[in-house]
Amino acid sequence: MTSTVTRPGPPGSPAAPAPPPAPEGRSGIAGLLELPGNGIRAIVRSAATTPGRLSVIAIGLVLLSLVAGLFGTLAAQDKKDTINGLIDHREPLAAAAQQVYRALSDADATAASSFLSIGTEPLPMRQRYERDIAEAGAALAKAASDSSGVDEAAEQINTLGRELPVYTGLIETARTYNRQGFPVGASYLREASELMRAKILPAAQDLYRIDTDRLAAEQDDATGFPWLATALVLALLAALIVTQVHLTRKTNRLLNVGLVVATVSVVVALLWGAVALIVQSTLVGSGEEDGSHQVDVLVRARIAALQARADETLTLVARGDGAAYEKDFRDLAGQLGGSDGQGGLLGEARGLAAGGAAADKVDAAIQAASAWFKAHAEVRRQDDDGFYQDAVATAIRDDKKDGAAGAFLRLDENLVAAINVGRQEFLDDTRGAERALTLLAPGIAVLALIAAAGSALGIRERLREYR
């Protein structure tokens, strides 16, 4: 047991006052709830003094530098990832959807043309048809790999997967009867063509539209402006300038090295980001206008030509009962070349390709289309006048001078060449946009750290003067 001995005071002196009781701290949840308020009150009390205000300013600048750097880095990296996705993922998938549409249209046109041949089906036509079906199947598998989560795309892929075997089965049946000389083969061919036009091609067209729209949406994302990141960087720059003006007035010192370094790093980040984003946005826009948009017009022109070619041959296969096919041919011809052969999709493509690498190919395609339309008129004249075999020869023999087959092949070849040029334009411009963002994301992160460090060191030098 211990005791405390106190020295008694002089006689008559008052007793020493008892020490005040220690304040009782609050504990538990109530204490935790009071922590934010206590922290805010402590900051307010500290900000009442000059060193306290400088500390608050330093903390604010460091936090703002880090937040601006974080959002700027994320925005730059998101742009780069979006552009890489356009090159490596989205454009190839749109091309696969286009390939499904084109291959199926060409298969239908080739199957119809082969029925007009006398005797055994020409081997080149048979090989072209089989190649088209194989290409459509491979492209459909590639397009299906990206359909998860997109119900409309999955629906079109299911339709294609279900109906395409039915179509090929009808074509094989038609071929079998045709080789045996039975007229019923033509009926199976028309049934297969109706299935292609009523269900298969509309599904392929919808799939192509979906993928093209997704490509355009990602291009829009790539050219979008990072408003939040830019606002944060500008706010940081303004805060640094205001802080330096404030310190100059308080200390009569013109420059603060740390804050100057921080300001320069923010200005560099802002200028670097602005130039890189302007170049990137311009190149992505050019890739869309000269590349993907031009390719879309050319693809639609080629598909219209392929469908018109199928109508041309089916009109002859029908032998006097093909008025509906001929009407469809005229509608597609107007869509392809307009009323004078110089407008329509080909005219639009010529306007888009003017002055570009594909201009000569588009001009050659327009000339071939005009020659094809003239040859078609001759086919119809011969058929209507009763010269059926002459009409068939003009329609399908590619070695016949001024024939429809040769003109159509020239049209198709030039359209394919122009499409390839447009795809390359897209890839070149978009890759250039990706290169414009090289090192931008890590560069912004490093510059933000420099700004934070410069702000902290600059304020620290002023704080030392108060010690």
Cα angle 386-390-395, degrees, rounded to a multiple of 5: 115
Following CA atoms 433, 434, 437, 442 in sequence, which dihedral angle do they give, to the nearest 10 degrees?
170
Confidence of residue 111 (pLDDT cuts 50, 70, 90): confident
Residue, of 458 and 370, whose pLDDT is higher? 370
What is the mean predicted confidence (pLDDT) over 126-140? 92
Backbone angles phi, psi at 344, to 5 degrees: 60, -150
Torsion sign across C-alpha atoms 368, 374, 380, 386: negative
Residue, of 148 and 330, whose pLDDT is higher? 330
8 Å CB contact between 305 and 333: no
Q: What is the pLDDT of residue 119?
A: 58
8 Å CB contact between 299 and 98: yes
Q: What is the DSSP letter of 201?
A: H
What is the mean predicted confidence (pLDDT) over 314-342? 86
User: Rounded CA gap, 199 and 108, in Å?
Assistant: 13
Confidence of residue 460 (pLDDT cuts 50, 70, 90): confident
Q: How far is CA 279 from CA 91, 100, 352, 431, 464, in A?
A: 21, 34, 22, 12, 45
Q: Which two tokens stand for residue 206?
A: 């919808």
Other residues' Cβ atoms within 10 Å of the Cβ of residue 185: 19
Helices (H), 148-196: 151-179, 184-195
Q: What is the pLDDT of residue 415?
A: 94
Inform me whether the pLDDT recorded for 185 exceeds 70. Answer: yes
Other residues' Cβ atoms within 10 Å of the Cβ of residue 349: 29
Confidence of residue 250 (pLDDT cuts 50, 70, 90): confident
Other residues' Cβ atoms within 10 Å of the Cβ of residue 158: 13
Q: Which amino acid is at 307?
A: Q
Q: Where are the domains of the chain?
A: 54-464
Within 8 A by CB and 6+ apart from 424, the residues are: 291, 357
Backbone angles phi, psi at 286, to 5 degrees: -65, -40
Q: Which range has highest mean pLDDT (296-305, 310-319, 340-349)?
A: 296-305
Inform me whether the pLDDT recorded for 170 exceeds 70. Answer: yes
* Listed range (20-24, 138-142, 237-241, 272-276) with the worst mean pLDDT: 20-24
Inform me whether the pLDDT recorded for 228 exceeds 90. Answer: yes
Q: What is the DSSP letter of 76?
A: H
Q: What is the pLDDT of residue 63?
A: 94
User: Rounded CA gap, 387 and 367, in Å?
Assistant: 27
Other residues' Cβ atoms within 10 Å of the Cβ of residue 260: 14
For 13-71, the pLDDT digits (tens) are: 444 455 555 444 455 565 555 556 555 555 555 555 667 778 888 899 999 999 999 99
| Closest to 259 (Cα-Cα) out of 234, 242, 235 | 242
What is the mean predicted confidence (pLDDT) over 324-351? 89
User: Rounded CA gap, 363 and 335, in Å?
Assistant: 17
* Placement of tokens 């030392």 in the chain: 464
Confidence of residue 464 (pLDDT cuts 50, 70, 90): confident
Chain mean pLDDT for the chain: 85
Confidence of residue 449 (pLDDT cuts 50, 70, 90): very high
Confidence of residue 321 (pLDDT cuts 50, 70, 90): confident
Q: What is the pLDDT of residue 61?
A: 92
Q: What is the pLDDT of residue 112?
A: 84
Three-state DSSP state, 121: coil
User: Rounded CA gap, 52 and 42, in Å?
Assistant: 10
Q: What is the DSSP letter of 88?
A: I
8 Å CB contact between 437 and 280: yes
Following CA atoms 325, 330, 331, 335 in sequence, which dihedral angle do they give, to the nearest 10 degrees?
130
- pLDDT > 70: what percent of the chain? 87
Q: What is the pLDDT of residue 1?
A: 39
Which letter, b or e, does each residue of 132-141 get, where b requires 16 or more Cβ atoms within 10 Å of its Cβ? bbebbbebbe
Within 8 A by CB and 6+ apart from 162, the residues are: none
Q: Which two tokens stand for residue 157?
A: 């892929």
Q: What is the pLDDT of residue 37?
A: 56
Q: Which two tokens stand for residue 124?
A: 């080149």
Q: What is the pLDDT of residue 13?
A: 46
| Closest to 447 (Cα-Cα) out of 312, 287, 264 | 264
